[in-house]
Structure 1
């Protein structure tokens, strides 16, 4: 498929909007449940009240995440098929409508003082339009179709770089914008309003500016009458080398795809499980972050996109794709292990710094997968991968959340056993 595509403006603007929304949602949820916990008659100590708030916030985020992940299953797959058969803009444009509507609902929650549980409905609306699964799979399919195999890893990580820079800018400014409204009930109006406007821009750009030609069924690997691609082996120009002739090339490719899917899913479970807990962790003691610090913390996470891009750019000249994947996984594992012992803000940033190559595995795995299938199947391949991530995340998110909550209870019990409760003064 030949195409003229400039997806970077969409990726950039959409991620800035997403960073604004993430900070706004977290702060609104934190404030609403802080009011609830502080007014509760069961709150008889600072530790108990803080634990109650954290349980409520983490439960909310868990349910919201599960709805956002589960609902897009069928819509995302349907949109991916349409993208492969008709126009690759479809799985990008349609989810942007869901983004706009769901973010608009958060704006109403702030302005009209609706219950924060309305956002569960917003997650359903977001999912019915395909959600992130459809949007990101569409972006990856379009980028893969418009790039040469030898440069595909760099092309995909470049998209991730734009995503990361946008997230960094959005995150680092989101806390300041959130605090611009001095009236507490309306804090976040400007932040979420800008987010909605940016999604409108992305949708308008995708509809009127983004141009893609019709899809052709061109193979992305060597023709069937030639030898199979040797999985994981690359030449000096990072192009796949050719294995010795074999009559089982189809089976070999299938095994490669299964192994790539398994590795990607296991890694994604580890990353998403840890990242889902971080927002609840940073707003409680010992860090007790506010809106600006949350923005800085999120921005530190997006710096990883830049360092991972540089890593792929350098490593791809001398290392195999599989070696780069292992480097990225070790980087993430080391950083998240240090994160488990964070008690000061500076320690958080040290742990984040150790994750500098943590984004390398995913675009590299997507690049390897795209070399195993025909160009007309990119959409289906990437949406199956994205849906696999979602299923795994939905299944494991409650596990991570409940382990986190149980750990909080144990710590509170230990502290109160040593120091006893301090009752709050009555009104």
Structure 2
């Protein structure tokens, strides 16, 4: 056995290029390569619903690192970094950007951005489910946080909290509105939580997994199991014949119908049914697998019945005068306000995590997450200073820590 030097190697969760094939490998530790870079030691990362798109082969066609949510400590900064220094505790948000406002005209969703852990077709092959990461454009791609509170309270700030918050905004939400949220995964629970702390008069959360619905009830939402007692639209309209003012799709194109079969347009149709006249629908769920995939990604999409175009009840939406808006998470506009809510004790989003796993057990964590046995998962990172954490390389090879890659 050999030990790594300070600048040597690290553990990283990687998708191996096959459906359901995640492993933990030994890879080279990143280094500062540009003046605007920061090197961050990751103390905790998270598994997101978007990571399952990779797990299922929908994003990316070649093996790459995964994960886009993390909290860590800065180890080193480049000479052009102005606002951060070694020892600062930070949230690494899901996309890195250079801080310049760019008018988007391309259908490529990460044009001009770096999306961690989504593969080179969408950003970078470097993921955040690892021990160290190089953060480009550190001054505009990190969020400094205090030393107080556990990592789990800050991790949602990297993606799921601002994603749920952004989607609620896109529905046209105002305090006092009634809200229905489809999906009680990480984003759905954060969307419902956002609505509650922002003054919604009533929040429904729609799912079929009892543990998820239980978490929704625990934060003050009304759970709706769409596989029992009729479709969600039938149950909600029976309770509120006029429907709800705002509806948010936090599931997306891989949604299930009331028979638990994939139906790409099901949730949008349900949302139009229950949204009242003059109301709005926000879309956080992903509808983008058709934009940039080829090869295996296309095959995976075809197996799930995903098409580039889907049917939509435009007549009913038009007649009701509904506002409908979707898109990627709006990090810059929403993270500062959410961070203040966490700092001041008004928000405690750590409830969204159902379990914490070691980095080595990430393949198991993915299997459990895919089967809805976990709501959201926190992965332990490198919680010791570099000097104290020599990494042993087993047999001198770069193979996975578990001996072989782990499929679902």
User: Structures share a fold, TM > 0.5?
Assistant: no
| Higher gyration radius (CA) | 1
Q: Which protein, 1 or 2, shows the higher relative CO under an 8 Å CA cutoff with sep ≥ 6?
A: 1
Greater share of residues in helix? 1
Query: TM-score if structure 2 supplies the norm length?
Result: 0.28
Greater share of residues in strand? 2
